[in-house]
Amino acid sequence: MEKETARIEAFSDGVFAIATTLLILEIKVPSPGTADLGRQLLRQWPSYVAYVISFAFIGIMWINHHRLFTHIKRFDHLLMVFNLLLLLGITWVPYPTAVLAQHWGYSGQKAAALLYQGTYFVIAVFFNILWRHANRAHLFGQDFDSSATERISKRYAVGLISYLICIALVWVSVPASLLGNVALAVFFAVPPKFVIGRGTGEGNG
């Protein structure tokens, strides 16, 4: 029998796929005849770095979204709304990625980094809302380990607090702030069994 949330998951997977595809469209092909092509390609290194990092971040968020929906077996109206809000944040990622790449090394670098980090903080908020609603509404399957609920909630809370720290770090050092973001991505990429017990957890990129 088809899982109740199958259509939600299929739609979500499509949105994640589109978001990762849009990232590459922000890397522009240099115009011919204006300068040495090799130099132009080298000058675009911020775009390459931003693309790789954001692709990895979206990929990790997709992994954690998948992990969450392995436990969610039922849905209600609010779950669909909260999932759409999360996907709204995901589709927004290519824009701050492009802004950060374009303004890296210029006077607007700090503002671009704030926009970038703020985007991931909002996504973390949406992940938390989705998880907490699924928990309150008892949308998990019978095989879900309810004893892990508190530990999973704490893991999600780590994401919120950590992204706030990354935002604060922008005022100190933009590279340090982005390194914090990378560290968070690594944290949430780690399989849950190594963090909160085998088969019991989720993450939030």
pLDDT at 70 exceeding the cut of 60: yes
What distance in Å separates the CA atoms of residue 172 and residue 193, rounded to the nearest whole number?
Answer: 35
pLDDT grade for 115, boundaries at 50, 70 and 90: very high
Q: At residue 201, does pLDDT exceed 80?
A: no
In the predicted model, what is the mean pLDDT of residues 79-89? 96
Q: What percent of the chain has pLDDT over 90?
A: 47
Q: Where are the alpha helices (DSSP H) in 31-148?
A: 37-43, 45-71, 77-92, 94-103, 109-136
pLDDT tens digits, one per residue of 152-167: 777 788 888 999 999 9
Residue 11: the pLDDT is 95
Could you tell me what percentage of the chain is helix, strand and coil, using 3-state DSSP and rounding each to the nearest 5?
Answer: 75, 0, 25
Please enumerate in sequence order all residues whose Cβ is within 8 A of that of 51, keeping only pairs 6 or more positions apart, or say none: 23, 24, 26, 27, 97, 101
Average pLDDT over residues 143-151: 69
Residue 159 pLDDT: 84
**Tell me: the pLDDT tens digits for 29-47?**
887 766 788 888 888 888 8
The ranges assigned to domains in the chain are 6-26+33-194
Average pLDDT, the chain: 85
Residue 125's pLDDT band (cuts 50, 70, 90): very high
Q: Is the pTM of this model over 0.95?
A: no
